[in-house]
Amino acid sequence: MRTTVFSTPLLTPLLRIIAIGLLKLSGWRAVGRPLENARFVLIGAPHTSNWDFVLMLLVILKLRMRIYWMGKNSLFPFPVAGLMKWLGGIPVDRNRHQNLVEHTVRQYHENPELVVLIPPEGTRSRVKEWKTGFYHIAVNAGVPVLMGYIDAAKKEAGLADFFHPSGEIEADMPAIRAFYADKKGINPENT
């Protein structure tokens, strides 16, 4: 896997100190602990604002994690595509079928440690149904789902519990969604 902001020698420790300071100055609290042998799908919700991205970067840096995240390909235009990829981004063309689930599962099989952050809503706008790609990736790769969250009402963001999917999506998705029922996004009208 490529070097990112979360794994750049000398620079990452400095950015971690800056992230801790920015979280403290802004009044946000990062919840969670550093995880050893990281191999899971990380979901992040509610995703209601562009600020979610900045907050996620700060929290992930503070918690000493190494992640990659999926985002729509329009976030990766020239000349900032290299920067977005260094920030851990994986561009996704939502208008084309590209076997993204299968490709990501293969990456899990080829890498002993891998964390991919996927916003299950797939957009910052209000949605009725979550996208299920994260679930299929976790089941097919044999890895758990770690539920990451933002709760603007409490000014906290971070990592909660692992969810071990059973393979029965109709039973599992309501259980996952229930965890997020009381979480308020930065723009709660989009939750």
Contact criterion met (CB below 8 Å) for 88 and 40? no
Lowest mean pLDDT among 23-37, 89-103, 120-134, 154-168: 120-134
Across residues 164-170, what is the average pLDDT?
A: 97
Contact criterion met (CB below 8 Å) for 45 and 173? no
Tokens (6 digits) for 175:
């259980």
Residue 121 DSSP code: T
Task: Give the H or E element holding residue 34.
Answer: none
Q: Tokens 């976790």, residue?
A: 138
pLDDT category, 191, cuts 50, 70, 90? low
pLDDT, residue 113, reads 93
What mean pLDDT value characterizes the chain? 92
Q: Is the pLDDT of residue 124 over 70?
A: no
Across residues 132-159, what is the average pLDDT?
A: 96
Please indicate whether residue 1 or residue 38 has the higher confidence score (pLDDT): 38
Please indicate whether residue 26 or residue 53 has the higher confidence score (pLDDT): 26
Strand 39-45 relative to strand 68-72, pairing: unpaired
pLDDT, residue 69, reads 92
Please indicate whether residue 184 or residue 34 has the higher confidence score (pLDDT): 184
Q: What is the tens place of the pLDDT at every residue in 10-46?
A: 999 999 999 999 999 999 999 999 887 799 999 999 9
Contact criterion met (CB below 8 Å) for 115 and 39? yes
pLDDT, residue 128, reads 80
Bridge partners, residue 116, by sequence: 41, 68
Q: Residue ranges per domain, the chain?
A: 11-190
Alpha-carbon span 177 to 54, nearest angstrom: 23
State the pTM of this model: 0.91
pLDDT, residue 125, reads 62
Q: What is the tens place of the pLDDT at every residue in 60-108?
A: 999 999 999 988 889 899 999 999 999 999 988 867 777 889 999 999 9
